[in-house]
Amino acid sequence: MLRKLSAIAAAAGLLVVGANGPALAAGGALKAKEVHWSFEGPFGTFDQAQLQRGFKVYREVCSACHSLKLVSFRNLGDKGGPFYNEKYPNSNDNPWVKAIAKDYEVNDIDGETGDAIKRPATSADRFPSPFANEAAARASNGGALPPDMSLLAKAREEGPDHIYSVVTGYVDAPKGLTVPTGGHYNQYFAGDLTSAWRGDPKHVPPGGFIAMAPPLKAGLVTFDDGVKSTLNQQAEDVSAFLMWAAEPKLEERKQTGFAVLIYLVLLSGLLYASYKTVWKNESH
Amino acid sequence: MADTAVGATTEPEHGSDPSRRDFIHIAALAAAAGGAATLVWPFIDQMNPSADTRALASTEFDLTKVAEGQQVTIKWRGKPLFVRNRTKAEIAKAVADDSASMKDPATDASRVKPGKANWLIVGGNCTHLGCVPTFGGGEYGGWFCPCHGSVYDTSGRIRKGPAPLNLVVPEYAFLTDTKVKIG
Amino acid sequence: MSGHSTYQPKTGIERWLDARLPIVRLGYDSFVDYPTPRNLNYWWTFGGILSLCLASQLITGIILVMHYTPSASGAFASVEHIMRDVNYGWLIRYMHANGASMFFIAVYIHMLRGLYYGSYKAPREVLWLLGCVIYLLMMATAFMGYVLPWGQMSFHGAVVITNLFGALPLVGESITTWLWGGFAVDNPTLNRFFSLHYLLPFMIAGVVILHIWALHVVGQNNPTGVDPKSKADTVPFTPYATVKDGFAMSVFLILFAFFVFYMPNALGHADNYVEANPLVTPAHIVPEWYFLPFYAILRAVPDKLMGVLAMFGAIACLFALPWLDTSKVRSMRYRPTAKIYFVFFLVTCCVLGVCGAKLPDDPVIPNLTTFQLMGSDMNSFVWLSRVASLYYFAFFLVVLPVLGLVEKTLPVPDSIASPALSADAHKG
C-alpha cells in the first residue's frame, strides 16, 4: 500500500509543479520556437564568441531604446562574460572593458560647481539608459515603454526562446485583422486580438500587436568574427547575450551544482551503509 | 545528533567485523562534517566587500583645486583622505625632523613622490582608533587627534600620544602634474 | 521528558552542570536514549527534514537581510545586487527561495503521514494542533517573504491577498487600510511585511519546541497505530533514528540541490523578475504552488465573502480533525474503506492545486463545450474546483465522522514487535 501511495504522491507532486507552466503560457501567442542554446543542460556554458556578437547587436540596435540598467561595464569582463580574459581576473583592469566603457557617457555631478555634467564611463559604472525616465521613454516611443533588458530573459516564461521568437516572429497581418497605428503584428507576442479581428471568431489569429517595429534584418550588424550576419544569427546571438545579462552566474551555478550533487550522492551512499549497519540486527 | 552514532556500536555484536563497521560510521560522519564546513564558506564570504564595492576602489583627483597651504579632504573607500599642498616652511620643518626619535621612523621624502614634496596625501584616520585628526593642533604643526590626543607632524608622522603608526600614505600615482589617481 | 531519566553524568564538570542546569540530561533523554518505535518507516523522517528546512531558511534569511533594502524604491535593486555582486549571493538567495518550496513539500508529506496513520488521535491532539499552528505561521511567513523582492507577482499577490480581508462585512475596508498603512499596497506595507517576515520564523521555532515537547510527552505514533508496550517494541533514538533521519535528510538535500542549481526559477514566476508596477497587473496572477489548493477553493465560491470563509474553513478543518474522526482505530493500515477515501482526498488536493493554477473558465478537456451552469460551462476548471472543494470538505465533515462509526476494520495487532502473531489471535 505504502509503495502505491508514494507513487501516487510523487505523480501528484509532479502534476502540481507542472501545472504552473501551461497556464502561464501567454494568452493566444504561439509557443516559442525552440532554439538549442550552449548554456542549456547541466554542463551548459555561454559561448563567448556568441556573447560578443550578441553584445554588438545590443549595442548597435537594441540600446537605442532599451536600457540595461542592472549591468555594469565590469560585468562584461567577469568570468563567463563576453570579454572575460584569464589574464585579467579583476574585470576592472580588462582593457576591452575599459575601452567599451570609455565610449559611453554617464551623468555625474561636478564636485566643484555642483553642475550636472557628462563624463566618460568607467568599468565600475552601469550601462547608461537611453531615456532619462519612464515618461521620456514613452514619449519617444508612441506611448509604449521599451522594457529594461537586464532581466528580460528571465522575466518571460519562455526565456531566451521567447526573445528569439519575437524578434524573428514578424509576419504580414492576415486579412481581416485591423492593425492599429504604431502597432506591428507578431505571432509570438502576448495579446488578445479578438476585438481587432473581423474574420471567423472561432479562428482568431495567434499573437498580438507590438509597438516595436521589426528591429533586426540581415546585414544590419557586421560581426567582427566574420560570422554571416543573418536575421536568425543576430536574433540568436542577442538572445544569448540577454540570457547572460539576466543570469551572469549561470556557469558558476551549474558547475557548483554538479560538485554538490556528486558529494550528496556519495554522502547518501555512506549514510545508507551506516544505517544498514546500525539496523543490521534489529527486526523492523 | 548524528555524532553519537559511532558510540552506539561499540558493544560487539554477532558476526560482522567491528573495525569495518566503525569505518563506515566514521566515513559518513566525516563526509557530513566536511560538507557542512564547506557550506560555511559562502555564508562567511558573503560579508566580504561585494563586487560593486570592490570596483569603486580607485579615484582620480584634480590638484589644481588645492592652493598652497591648504588641505582638501576627499572621501576614498568610504574614509577621509587628506590632500595637502604644503608650504615651504612645513616641508623644511618635516625634513629637519627626519632624524628625530620617533615611534614609527620614516623620512619625509619617503612619504611623498619625488619632485612633488609639496603634495602630501595621507589617510585621514588616526592610527590609534580611527578618529579624524584636525590640522593645526598640537606642538608639531601638523595634526591633532581630538579623541585621545595623538599628535602628528607636518609629514603626518606620529610624534606624541597613543597612536602607534604614522598616518597611512595610500597607493597613488601622478597621471599629470595636476592629477593623481588614488588606489 | 517521558519516564525516568537514564542519563549518568560521567565527569565532574557534567555532574556540576547537571545539578545546576540539566540541559545535557534534557538532550540525552530527548535525542539519545528516547525510546522510538522500531517500526517507523521513511514517512517518519520528515520531522527531521523539516527541522533542517527551518534551520536552512533561518540562516539564509538572516544572511539575505544583511544585503536587502526594505523599501519600495530599493527592494528590487537590492535583490539583484545580491544576485549579481554579493559573494555567493546567488546561491544564498536561490537556497532561500527554493528552500521555502522544499519546506512546504516536506510539511505536506508530514501532514498527510499524520492523517493516514491517525497521528492526531488521542492522546496526540495538542501535538496535532501545534503542528497546525506551525503550518499557519509558515503560510503567513511564506506569503510575506514572497512580497519582499517587490516584483510584479510580489506586488499584485499582496494586493489580492490583502483584499481578501476586504470581504469581511462592516470592518473589511478599515482592516485592509490598516494592513496597507495607506490606500494601496505601498512602501509602508512592504516595511511591515519585512518586519513580520523576520519575526514569524522565530515564532515558528518556538512552536516547534512546543511541538517536540508534546511529542516527547505522548511518544511517537507508528505505522500500526498501536502504543509500544514493552522494551521490545522500541529502539533508542540514537543511533537508530538519527542515522535513518540523516540518510533521509541527505536524499532530500539531493532534491533541494537539484532545484537550487539546475532549475532555480522553475517554482517561481517569470513576472517576478519585472519590478513592481501598481498600474499594470500581470496577465495571470497565481500564488506560489503551495497555496494553489486554497486559492482554488477561494475561487470556487462565486460570492466574495463566502469564498474567503470557505478558504479559511479549509484550514479550520485541519484544526478540528482530532474531533471529527470518530474511528477507534488509529492507523488506516487497518481501515480499508478509509484508505480509499484517503487516496481520493490526496487526488482531490492535487486536482485543487491544478485548478488553482488555471484560469477558472478554461476548459478541462480541450475543445469540448457542454452546458452552462451558474455562468460557467460544466467543462471548466471552476466547476472542477467546485466538485473537488465539495469532496475536500466532505472528507473532513462527513466521511471521517460517519465512517468511524460504521466501517469494518481489520484486526489490529497486539503489539509492534509481534504483528504477525496477534493478527490471528484477535478478531474484532
* Residue B159 three-state SS: strand
Q: What is the pLDDT of residues C248-268, one digit of tens each?
A: 999 999 999 999 999 999 999
Domain co-membership, B110 together with B168: yes
* Residue B144 three-state SS: strand
Let me know: does C110 contact C81? Beta carbons within 8 Å: no
Q: Could you give the ipTM of this predicted complex?
A: 0.91
Whether residue A211 has pLDDT greater than 90: yes
Q: How confident is the model at residue C215 (pLDDT cuts 50, 70, 90)?
A: very high
| A-to-B residue pairs, Cβ atoms closer than 8 angstroms | 46
Q: Percent of chain B having pLDDT more than 90?
A: 55
Domains identified in chain C and CATH numbers: 24-283 (1.20.810.10), 286-417 (1.10.287.980)
Residues on chain B touching C87 (C-beta within 8 angstroms): 42, 45-46, 48, 50-51
Cα–Cα distance, C213 to B21 (Å, whole number): 34
Please report the pLDDT score of residue A283 as a whole number. Answer: 65
| Higher local confidence (pLDDT), A1 or B64 | B64
Cis peptide before C239 (omega within 30 of 0): yes
Domain co-membership, B176 together with B102: yes
Mean pLDDT score across all residues of chain C: 93
Residues on chain B touching C88 (C-beta within 8 angstroms): 42-43, 45-46
Residue C427 grid coordinates? 478478531
* Residue B135 three-state SS: strand
Query: Closest Cα of chain B to C94: distance in Å?
Result: 13
Residues on chain B touching C238 (C-beta within 8 angstroms): 1, 4-5, 8
Cα–Cα distance, A55 to A41 (Å, whole number): 23
Cis peptide before C123 (omega within 30 of 0): yes
CATH number at residue B134: 2.102.10.10
Q: Which helix (H) or strand (E) holds C373?
A: strand C372-373
Q: What is the pLDDT of residues C98-121, one digit of tens each?
A: 999 999 999 999 999 999 999 999
Domain co-membership, B8 together with B95: no
B14 is catalytic: no
Q: Which residue of A has its CA nearest to C260?
A: A257
Whether B2 sits inside 8 A of C86 (CB atoms) is: no
Residue A278 CB-density burial (10 A; 0-12 exposed, 13-18 middle, 19+ buried):
buried
Whether residue A235 has pLDDT greater than 50: yes
Query: Closest Cα of chain B to A233: distance in Å?
Result: 33
Please report the pLDDT score of residue A25 as a whole number. Answer: 37
Q: What are phi and psi of A70, to 5 degrees?
A: -90, -5
Average pLDDT over residues C362-376: 84
Q: What is the pLDDT of residues C388-407, one digit of tens each?
A: 999 999 999 999 999 999 99
- State the residue range of the domain holding B176: 53-182
Q: How confident is the model at residue B148 (pLDDT cuts 50, 70, 90)?
A: very high
Domain co-membership, B57 together with B102: yes
Whether residue C70 has pLDDT greater than 90: yes
From B14, B25, B128, B148, the catalytic residue: B148
> How many distinct structural domains can be found in chain B?
2
Average pLDDT over residues C305-319: 95
Domain co-membership, B30 together with B57: no
Domain co-membership, B67 together with B85: yes
Cα–Cα distance, C68 to C142 (Å, whole number): 17
Q: Please spell the DSSP secondary structure of C107-147, one letter per residue.
A: HHHHHHHHHHTTTTSTT-HHHHHHHHHHHHHHHHHHHHHHH
Domain co-membership, B172 together with B108: yes
Whether C343 sits inside 8 A of A282 (CB atoms) is: no
Let me know: does C276 contact C155? Beta carbons within 8 Å: yes
* Residue A249 three-state SS: coil
Contacts of residue A233, Cβ cutoff 8 Å, sequence gap at least 6: A53, A223, A227
Domain co-membership, B13 together with B75: no
Domain co-membership, B136 together with B64: yes
Mean pLDDT score across all residues of chain B: 86
Domain co-membership, B22 together with B58: no
Domain co-membership, B177 together with B143: yes
Domain co-membership, B141 together with B116: yes
Whether residue B113 has pLDDT greater than 80: yes
Please report the pLDDT score of residue C2 as a whole number. Answer: 46
Average pLDDT over residues B136-156: 90
Residues on chain A touching C289 (C-beta within 8 angstroms): 16-17, 19-20
Let me know: does B28 contact A273? Beta carbons within 8 Å: yes
Whether A274 sits inside 8 A of B24 (CB atoms) is: yes
Cα–Cα distance, C375 to C397 (Å, whole number): 28
Last residue of a domain, one of B10, B29, B45: B45
Q: Percent of chain C having pLDDT more than 90?
A: 84
Whether C254 sits inside 8 A of A274 (CB atoms) is: no
Whether C247 sits inside 8 A of A274 (CB atoms) is: yes
* Contacting partners of chain A (3+ CB pairs under 8 A): B, C
Residue A83 grid coordinates? 570579454
Q: Of A215-224, A249-258, B9-18, C56-65, where does mean pLDDT reach its minimum?
A: B9-18
Integer angstrom CA distances of residue C352 from A65, A229, C285: 43, 50, 16
